[in-house]
Chains A and B, each alone.
Chain A
Amino acid sequence: MPTIRVPSALRNFTNGASDVELSAATVRDALAELERRHPGISARVLDSAGDVKPFIRIFVGPDDIGGLSGLDTKLAERDEVSIIPAIAGGSR
């Protein structure tokens, strides 16, 4: 079953879980299933048009879905989907 790795900034939606296993054929399906289980989380990842927000990147394994088929990238049984948000912080 594919796994979504949830960044720490979104784990308040998943009761602290860093990894969520789910049955999904594509990244889009995986995010929809994640939303069904943890309502509200997809609004932090996708915009109102259903596209990935500009400051968030999604990877399947080491590969950016932007270089694959975007949200329609197919998932295999053991794929790991990583959601990586931009963060600031460091100086002041």
Chain B
Amino acid sequence: MTARRAVIVGAGGLGGPIALSLGRAGLELVIVDPDVVELSNLHRQIHFATAELGAAKATALAASVTAAGGAARGHVARWTPEIADELAGDAELIVDGSDDPATKFAVSDWAVANGRSYVIASALRFSGNAMVGAPGTACYRCLFEEPVEAPSCADAGVLGPVVGAIGGVAAALAIGLARGDRSHAGSIFVFDDLRVATDPRIVKFMARRDCPTCMRAPISPFDSPARAAGQKGS
């Protein structure tokens, strides 16, 4: 592994499989989530049990990772720009499985500004996607520009196995980044309806010329067209 430490943002349906996979792959984890385990979570957050109702998700998931032989600590907080430096420290990799667009943009912006690799995972109802970012490639803000009001799983629902599947994909992509494989950086894996088809559409997107995050990045995608399009090896 090129990377040794990772931050997992969100300890819910996506964050669970991501953390358990990355913890068993040998990465030291910081798990960040402000919420507690609720009964309504359990159909999709299968890493929690009824005995953990009321417990902080971040610390409960960290305990599961540790019990399986990994190294993790939980931080009960919402990821915000104000505390991002403290939360991430020198982690080389950030993986987002949070439930709101603003957090996803905050994670991406921080990762780009600090030269870290990252994966942003999302799931809703029967669909999901996972976007891969690395220094010098197009970012999440290049893709979707700005946060908008969007329904969360708690509002619109999600099929339990969908978050497990998308979380698994996000973990696999994160492990690739941790090994130094940037071949998917600047791409998004889109799963339209996992009840119907499991093959993703993989689209590689270009950096947006007016992206404020990339314009300020220490390693800009505009330095090199090859880097903007992503390339293998780091």
A binds B: yes
Binds B, one of A29-37, A70-78, A79-87: A79-87
Residues of A within 8 A of B10 (CB): 90-91
Considering only CB atoms and an 8 Å cut-off, how many residues of chain A contact the other chain?
23
Out of B11, B33, B41, B124, name the residue touching A87 (CB < 8 Å): B124
Q: Is there an interface contact between A54 and B144, defined as CB atoms closer than 8 Å?
A: yes
Q: CB-nearest residue of chain A relative to B228?
A: A67
Q: Is there an interface contact between A87 and B193, defined as CB atoms closer than 8 Å?
A: no
Q: Is there an interface contact between A90 and B148, defined as CB atoms closer than 8 Å?
A: no
Residues of B within 8 A of A69 (CB): none
B156 at the interface (CB under 8 A from A): yes
Q: Is there an interface contact between B203 and A90, defined as CB atoms closer than 8 Å?
A: no
Q: Is there an interface contact between A62 and B145, defined as CB atoms closer than 8 Å?
A: no
Give Cα distance in the complex from A9 to B12, angstroms. Answer: 22
Contact-size category for B: 35 or more
Known A18-B193, A62-B203; judge A89-B158 contact (CB<8 A): yes
Give Cα distance in the complex from A62 to B184, angstroms. Answer: 13
Binds A, one of B21-29, B85-93, B94-102, B110-118: B94-102
Out of A18, A57, A66, name the residue touching B192 (CB < 8 Å): A18
Q: Is there an interface contact between A84 and B152, defined as CB atoms closer than 8 Å?
A: no
Give Cα distance in the complex from A67 to B206, angstroms. Answer: 7
Out of B33, B127, B145, name the residue touching A8 (CB < 8 Å): B127
> Which B residues are within 8 Å of any A CB, using their own CB?
10-15, 33, 35, 41, 97-101, 104, 121-129, 143-146, 148, 150-154, 156, 158, 163, 166-167, 188, 190, 192-193, 196, 201-206, 208
Q: A55-B148, A92-B152 are in contact. List 6 more A-B contacts (CB 8 A).
A: A8-B125, A67-B206, A88-B98, A90-B10, A91-B98, A92-B41
Closest 9 CB pairs of A and B: A91-B12, A91-B10, A54-B145, A90-B14, A91-B99, A89-B124, A67-B206, A86-B144, A89-B153
